[in-house]
């Protein structure tokens, strides 16, 4: 997992690379820090983006419930600046830096959107065990049997609605247990979330 959290000051001056000289980062009106770690002038990453945690990459607080609207806004800003079409004529090394940074931004964005993966990442950042507990196999088996017995599209939709309500409840529980620092329950609920999410995905493919 990632080893450190880095926070970039709102004013930045480099000494070894001329493209960063006298550079002032775009400032966030809320926190007075740049929203992203990319130069607004030359559109190159100011630091090794792939060494930053997903939470800090998008300047999100280290907590389970996140502002997904703000996350998407930062993601689109990254993608706009790191788009290959904006970097014609770069050196091979700079182009590789852009490509690797864009790929990492995509991976970090998907991780943070995923309620289970985000929880595991947060456990890691809090120096907690990330090994998840096993769910009750019998309960999961019974749910799959229930899916096999569904006949109509309305039955499938009703079952899916119930599963989605259960997922929402689990996500709420995970957030509460993170706040309470009850990490055993966090791991238990994250494991449960994974199973119910897989069931929901199966329902999406149900004929």
pLDDT tier for residue 10 given thresholds of 50, 70 and 90: very low
Identify the residue with better confidence: 140 or 166. Answer: 166
In DSSP terms, 24 is beta-bridged to: 11
CATH code: domain 49-113 is 1.10.287.110
Does residue 19 register a pLDDT over 60? no
Q: Can you give the pLDDT at residue 95?
A: 79
Contact 2, 51 (CB under 8 A): yes
Does residue 199 register a pLDDT over 70? yes
pTM: 0.74
Separation of alpha carbons 164 and 186, rounded Å: 19
| Domain limits, the chain | 49-113, 137-205
Domain 137-205: give its CATH architecture. Answer: Up-down Bundle (1.20)
Highest mean pLDDT among 46-50, 73-77, 135-139, 180-184: 180-184
Distances from the Cα of 114 to the Cα of 20, 149, 206, angstroms: 35, 29, 22
Task: Give 30-86 pLDDT, tens digit per residue.
Answer: 433 455 766 666 666 666 778 889 999 999 999 999 999 999 999 998 888 887 777
Q: Give the CA-trace dihedral at 15, 13, 70, 86, to 10 degrees.
A: -60
Distances from the Cα of 201 to the Cα of 131, 136, 147, 167, angstroms: 23, 19, 12, 12
Task: Give 53-62 pLDDT, tens digit per residue.
Answer: 999 999 999 9
Do 49-113 and 137-205 fold alike per CATH?
no
Residue of 83, 54, 84, 86 lying closest to 71 (CA atoms): 54
Does residue 7 register a pLDDT over 60? no
Separation of alpha carbons 52 and 54, rounded Å: 6
pLDDT tier for residue 163 given thresholds of 50, 70 and 90: confident
Q: Can you give the pLDDT at residue 41?
A: 63
CB count within 10 Å of CB 137 equals 9
Contact 178, 124 (CB under 8 A): no
Does residue 29 register a pLDDT over 90? no
């Amino acid at each position: 997992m990632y080893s450190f959290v880095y926070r970039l000051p709102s004013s930045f001056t480099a000494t070894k690379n001329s493209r960063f000289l006298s550079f002032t980062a775009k400032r966030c009106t809320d926190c007075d820090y740049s929203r992203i770690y990319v130069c607004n002038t030359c559109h190159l990453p100011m630091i090794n983006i792939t060494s930053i945690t997903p939470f800090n990459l998008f300047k999100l607080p280290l907590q389970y419930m996140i502002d997904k609207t703000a996350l998407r806004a930062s993601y689109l800003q990254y993608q706009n600046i790191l788009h290959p079409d904006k970097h014609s004529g770069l050196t091979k090394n700079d182009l590789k830096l852009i490509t690797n940074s864009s790929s990492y931004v995509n991976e970090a964005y998907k991780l943070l959107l995923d309620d289970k993966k985000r929880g595991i990442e947060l456990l890691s950042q809090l120096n907690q065990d990330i090994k998840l507990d096993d769910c009750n196999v019998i309960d999961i088996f019974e749910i799959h049997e229930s899916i096999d017995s569904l006949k109509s599209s309305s039955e499938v939709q009703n079952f899916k609605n119930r599963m989605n309500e259960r997922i929402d409840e689990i996500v709420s529980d995970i957030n509460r247990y993170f706040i309470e620092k009850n990490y055993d329950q966090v791991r238990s609920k994250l494991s449960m979330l994974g199973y119910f999410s897989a069931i929901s995905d199966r329902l999406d493919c149900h004929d």
